[in-house]
A and B are shown apart, each in its own frame.
Chain A
C-alpha cells in the first residue's frame, strides 16, 4: 500500500508545565502537524526509561519527554532526574546502534504554547529525516500477537537487553 509515511511520535509530558504549554498552543489556535500523541503524567520524574523502550518496541518513531524548565519543577527536581535518565537512555540506545535523536528531552513551560508547537515541528522534521524506526515493521507484525516482546528479532532483542541493562543499573543519585 503506497500510503504516505506518517511518523508516530509519543510525547510524555508533565501536567504542570509541558501539558499546560501544549494546551496553551491549542487555546491560542497555533497549528502544528498532527503526528504526536500525548501521555500526561504528574512529573517527568515519573518517566521510567523502560516506558520509552516499550514505545519503541511498539513501533514509535520518536519519543519526546517534556517537563518544566530547570528550577521550575512542581516537584522541585523531577525534571533534573528525568533529564539525567534520558541522558543515560540515549547513550544506551546509541551503543545499540539505535539513533538516539529519536528520543528527545525538552523543557516547555505552561506559558510557552508557541515553543511547544516548535518543539513538535522540529521533532517531526528530525524523524522525517531519519525515516521510519528500524523497529517499525517488526512492531506491526508483532501487534497481531500479544503486545510486547513477542516476535522479537535481533533488533528487538537488543532493545530488550537495553531494558535489562537499565534495570540492572538504574540512575542513582547519592
Chain B
C-alpha cells in the first residue's frame, strides 16, 4: 500500500523487573519480534529505562543502522519522553519511535493468564512495529511564553503560590471570587497541633500579597473563559460589579454604619449579621467595601454618607477583562459537605446541631459572639458538647474518602472547650482517630490527658428534647459493645470536605479532568501531584483533594515552582502533530473549517482563484478532528496518519510474524 522503503526496526523488550518478565516469557517475545517484517534487531534488558538499558538503544541504532525504534515496556504516558530522548541520542529523529505497552495493557491485567498475556504482548508489539515502520521524522516547534502566571483562588494555597511566583520576579494575577482574599483559613480560629491563631499566621501573608509589586490581586472576579494553551493562555475574567470603586474606597466603614439592610454574613456562615454594603471580616484584604446588589434597596444613604470621596457607584456593571498568561495555578478550594443530607443527625432541624466550621466562627474572637460558644437555641453556655467525627466522610452513602482534617480539628475544638470553659466535657464519637502528621499523634495524647472523652462508634441518630432543646445522642460504643446515649447541649458535626460546587464549571473551562470523588485530577498521584493532564495548568490545595494547611502550603509551593518552569525557559516545545493540507487533494469544501475547535483552519483563495484550506500550525493542537472528516483525504494528521493507523489495524487482525 505504501511506497515507503522498508525500515530497519529495532525492538527492545523490557523485563521491568518481574512486572513484565514475571508473566510473559521475554525470550519468546524476543524470538517472535525477530520474525516481524522490517525488524532487524531485537534485544531485551531488565530495566530498559535505566542507563545501561538506554545505552543498548543508542549503540544498537549505530551498530545495526536502525531507522526506527520500538520499546516494549510500560505506558507511553509514562516513559515515551524517556525513550524518545534515548533514540534521539542515538541519532534518530525522536518521533520515529513507538512504545508497545505490554505492562499496563498486558502483563498487569492478565497476570493469571500468562499465555493470553503473551499472545496479547506479541500482538501489541506487532502493531507497534507496523506503525513504527511508517513513522516519519518531525521537527519540534517552539513557541514563546507569556511571562506571567494566573492563580485562581486566593485561599492559603493561592496566596502561597502567588507569593512564591511573585518573589521570583514573575507577574502574578491572583483571581478571587469573594470580596476578600483569605479563603477558608481566614474563618478558622486556631490551627492544630500548635494552636497558632489562624488569622495571626495568615494575615501577614494576605498583606504581603496586597503590597507585592508583582501581584495583581483581583477580588470579586471570576474566570469567564479560558482560551489558548501552555505559554499562551488568554483568560477572560469577569470583574463583578462591586458597587464601590476600589481606588477611591478607604475602608472607613461609614457607609455600612448607615445602611438600613441587614443580612446574614456568609463569612460567618450566616451566624452573624452584615449590611448590604459590607466587608466580610475585619482583616479583609483589600479593605474595600462591596455592595451586595441582591439585597441593596438603592436608598443611596451610603452614597450620601460617602460624600466627596465619591467611592460608591450603585449603577456599576460587570466588566470583562482579558489577561494573557503563560501558565495557570488552580487553587479553587473546598466546600463543606451538605450535612443536612444526613438527616439522622438533624442538622438544619435542631438548633443546637452545628458544623465544625460554625464552631470555628463561634470560638473566634472576631466571630459573631466575640469568641464564646453558645447554644444557638437560647444563647446559653453549653455544659456537654458532643462531636461527631467522620460526618459525611468514610461513608458509603455520602463520601467514601477520609477528609483528613476532621479528627485533628475536632481534637482542637475539644481542647478549646476545655481551655475556655472549664468544667465542660467534650465527647468525641469517632471511628478511628487519624493523627498522621508531624506532632499530630502527640496532640491526640495531650487532648486525652486533658480529659476529653472518647467513644469509639458512629452516632446512629440524634433526637431533640423539645422542651430544653437538648440533644440525645445515640451511638454504639464498639469497644465495649454496648449502646450509649448521651444528653448534650450542643453537637458539632465534623462535616466532610468536598470540592467547591463551582469547581466543576471552572474545570470545563480549563479542560482538566477530575477523579470520581469530583476533586481535580493530578497528572500522577505520587510523582506529579500538582500538574494536570493539560500542559501549563497546575493544582494547589483542596481542589485536588482534602488537605491540612501544611500539605496545602507545600503543594502550593510545588505548583508555583512547576508553573514557573516554562516561564523561565522562555519557550515551550509543542508536539509537531499538526494537521497538514495537501493542496492537490483539497477541494476547498470547507468542512474541516467548521470542525476545528480551535479555529486553526481558514479557507484561503489561491492565485488561480481556487479555495483551499490552510492550517495555522501554532493554533493547531493535533486532535485530528479535521482529518477524520475530510472527504477527500486531503488532510494528513502528522504522527497519526491514516496509513499508520490502518497498519496497526491490519497488524492486529491480519497477523504477521510467526
Q: Once the chains bind, are B591 and A170 in contact (CB under 8 Å)?
A: yes
B101, B104, B650: the one contacting A58 at CB < 8 Å is B650
For residue B6, CB closer than 8 A to chain A, the reply is no
Q: Once the chains bind, are B106 and A34 in contact (CB under 8 Å)?
A: yes
Docked CA distance A109–B195 (Å): 41
Q: Which of B586-643 contact A (CB under 8 A)?
A: 591, 594-595, 597-598, 621-625, 627-631, 637, 640, 642
Q: Once the chains bind, are B109 and A26 in contact (CB under 8 Å)?
A: yes
Q: Which residues of the partner chain B approach A117 to less than 8 Å between Cβ atoms? A: 109
- Mark the stretch among B37-45, B337-345, B428-436, B512-520 that contacts chain A: B512-520
Q: Separation in Å of the A14 CB from the closest CB of chain B? A: 9
* Interface magnitude class on chain B: 35 or more
Q: Once the chains bind, are B642 and A48 in contact (CB under 8 Å)?
A: yes
Q: Which residues of the partner chain B approach A157 to less than 8 Å between Cβ atoms? A: none
Known: A37-B124, A40-B76, A58-B649. A76 touches B511 (CB 8 A): yes
Q: Which residues of the partner chain A approach B515 to less than 8 Å between Cβ atoms? A: 111
Docked CA distance A143–B650 (Å): 9
Known: A22-B104, A48-B628, A54-B649. A37 touches B123 (CB 8 A): yes
For residue A102, CB closer than 8 A to chain B, the reply is no
Q: Separation in Å of the A163 CB from the closest CB of chain B? A: 12
Q: Once the chains bind, are B77 and A20 in contact (CB under 8 Å)?
A: yes
Q: Once the chains bind, are B123 and A31 in contact (CB under 8 Å)?
A: no
| Chain A residue total in the interface (Cβ 8 A) | 63
For residue B521, CB closer than 8 A to chain A, the reply is yes
Q: Once the chains bind, are B623 and A51 in contact (CB under 8 Å)?
A: no
Q: Once the chains bind, are A148 and B623 in contact (CB under 8 Å)?
A: no
- Can you name the residue of chain B whose Cβ is closest to the Cβ of A167? B631
- Can you name the residue of chain A whose Cβ is closest to the Cβ of B597? A76
- Can you name the residue of chain A whose Cβ is closest to the Cβ of B519? A111
Q: Which residues of the partner chain B approach A111 to less than 8 Å between Cβ atoms? A: 513-516, 521
Docked CA distance A95–B629 (Å): 21
Docked CA distance A15–B99 (Å): 13
Q: Once the chains bind, are A48 and B627 in contact (CB under 8 Å)?
A: yes
Q: Separation in Å of the A116 CB from the closest CB of chain B? A: 10
- Binary interface encoding of chain B residues 112-127 relative to chain A, with 1 for a CB under 8 A from any of its CBs, else 0: 1100110110011001
Q: Separation in Å of the B382 CB from the closest CB of chain A? A: 43
Docked CA distance A146–B192 (Å): 72
Q: Once the chains bind, are A78 and B623 in contact (CB under 8 Å)?
A: yes
Q: Once the chains bind, are B591 and A19 in contact (CB under 8 Å)?
A: no
Q: Which of A146-163 contact B (CB under 8 A)?
A: 146-148
Q: Once the chains bind, are B597 and A38 in contact (CB under 8 Å)?
A: no
- Can you name the residue of chain B whose Cβ is closest to the Cβ of A20? B77
Q: Once the chains bind, are B127 and A78 in contact (CB under 8 Å)?
A: no
Q: Which of A130-172 contact B (CB under 8 A)?
A: 139, 143, 146-148, 167-168, 170-172
B110, B623, B654: the one contacting A143 at CB < 8 Å is B654
Known: A16-B513, A34-B119. A39 touches B111 (CB 8 A): no
Q: Once the chains bind, are A78 and B650 in contact (CB under 8 Å)?
A: no
Q: Separation in Å of the B110 CB from the closest CB of chain A? A: 5
Q: Which residues of the partner chain B approach A68 to less than 8 Å between Cβ atoms? A: 513
Q: Once the chains bind, are A41 and B640 in contact (CB under 8 Å)?
A: yes
Q: Which residues of the partner chain A approach B101 to less than 8 Å between Cβ atoms? A: 23, 38
B110, B120, B621: the one contacting A31 at CB < 8 Å is B110
- Can you name the residue of chain B whose Cβ is closest to the Cβ of A9? B652
- Can you name the residue of chain B whose Cβ is closest to the Cβ of A117? B109
A8, A47, A110, A167: the one contacting B652 at CB < 8 Å is A8
For residue B655, CB closer than 8 A to chain A, the reply is yes
For residue A55, CB closer than 8 A to chain B, the reply is yes
Q: Which residues of the partner chain B approach A26 to less than 8 Å between Cβ atoms? A: 75, 103-105, 108-109
Q: Which of A68-107 contact B (CB under 8 A)?
A: 68, 71-78, 81-82, 85
- Can you name the residue of chain A whose Cβ is closest to the Cβ of B117? A34
- Can you name the residue of chain A whose Cβ is closest to the Cβ of B110? A34
Q: Once the chains bind, are B104 and A45 in contact (CB under 8 Å)?
A: no
A8, A19, A78: the one contacting B597 at CB < 8 Å is A78
- Binary interface encoding of chain A residues 3-20 relative to chain B, with 1 for a CB under 8 A from any of its CBs, else 0: 000001010000111011
Q: Which residues of the partner chain A approach B480 to less than 8 Å between Cβ atoms? A: none
For residue B648, CB closer than 8 A to chain A, the reply is yes
- Binary interface encoding of chain B residues 454-472 relative to chain A, with 1 for a CB under 8 A from any of its CBs, else 0: 0000000000000000000
- Can you name the residue of chain A whose Cβ is closest to the Cβ of B120? A34
Q: Once the chains bind, are B1 and A147 in contact (CB under 8 Å)?
A: yes
Docked CA distance A99–B595 (Å): 29
Docked CA distance A74–B507 (Å): 11
B109, B116, B630, B645: the one contacting A39 at CB < 8 Å is B645
Q: Once the chains bind, are A43 and B625 in contact (CB under 8 Å)?
A: yes
Q: Once the chains bind, are A110 and B533 in contact (CB under 8 Å)?
A: yes
Q: Once the chains bind, are A42 and B623 in contact (CB under 8 Å)?
A: yes
Q: Once the chains bind, are A168 and B631 in contact (CB under 8 Å)?
A: yes
Q: Which residues of the partner chain A approach B652 to less than 8 Å between Cβ atoms? A: 8, 10, 37, 58, 60
Docked CA distance A112–B113 (Å): 23
Known: A17-B513, A34-B116, A54-B649. A173 touches B111 (CB 8 A): no
Docked CA distance A11–B645 (Å): 12
Q: Separation in Å of the B70 CB from the closest CB of chain A? A: 14
B598, B630, B653 pick with most chain A CB within 10 angstroms:
B653
Docked CA distance A29–B120 (Å): 16
Q: Once the chains bind, are A10 and B621 in contact (CB under 8 Å)?
A: no
Q: Once the chains bind, are A32 and B109 in contact (CB under 8 Å)?
A: yes
Known: A55-B649, A58-B649, A73-B511. A30 touches B625 (CB 8 A): no
Known: A10-B653, A25-B109, A46-B637. A110 touches B513 (CB 8 A): yes
Q: Which residues of the partner chain B approach A47 to less than 8 Å between Cβ atoms? A: 628
B76, B516, B625, B649 pick with most chain A CB within 10 angstroms:
B625
- Can you name the residue of chain B whose Cβ is closest to the Cβ of A61? B653
Docked CA distance A31–B245 (Å): 61
For residue B82, CB closer than 8 A to chain A, the reply is no
Docked CA distance A84–B577 (Å): 24
Q: Once the chains bind, are A27 and B653 in contact (CB under 8 Å)?
A: no
Q: Which residues of the partner chain B approach A173 to less than 8 Å between Cβ atoms? A: 594-595
Q: Which residues of the partner chain B approach A168 to less than 8 Å between Cβ atoms? A: 631
Q: Separation in Å of the A148 CB from the closest CB of chain B? A: 7
For residue B269, CB closer than 8 A to chain A, the reply is no
Docked CA distance A54–B654 (Å): 11
Q: Which residues of the partner chain B approach A71 to less than 8 Å between Cβ atoms? A: 508
Q: Once the chains bind, are B516 and A172 in contact (CB under 8 Å)?
A: no
For residue B534, CB closer than 8 A to chain A, the reply is yes
Q: Once the chains bind, are B627 and A39 in contact (CB under 8 Å)?
A: no
Q: Which residues of A contact B (CB under 8 A)?
A: 8, 10, 15-17, 19-20, 22-23, 25-27, 29-32, 34, 37-43, 45-48, 51, 54-55, 58-60, 68, 71-78, 81-82, 85, 109-112, 117, 139, 143, 146-148, 167-168, 170-174
State the 7 A-B residue pairs at the shortest beta-carbon distance, nearest first: A46-B624, A26-B104, A45-B625, A75-B623, A58-B653, A43-B623, A34-B116
21 examples of A-B residue contacts, CB within 8 angstroms: A17-B513, A23-B105, A25-B109, A34-B110, A34-B119, A38-B101, A41-B624, A42-B622, A43-B624, A58-B649, A58-B653, A60-B649, A68-B513, A75-B623, A76-B511, A78-B624, A109-B513, A109-B521, A117-B109, A146-B1, A173-B595
| Seed contacts A15-B77, A31-B109; 6 additional CB < 8 Å A-B pairs | A10-B649, A20-B533, A31-B110, A48-B629, A55-B649, A167-B631
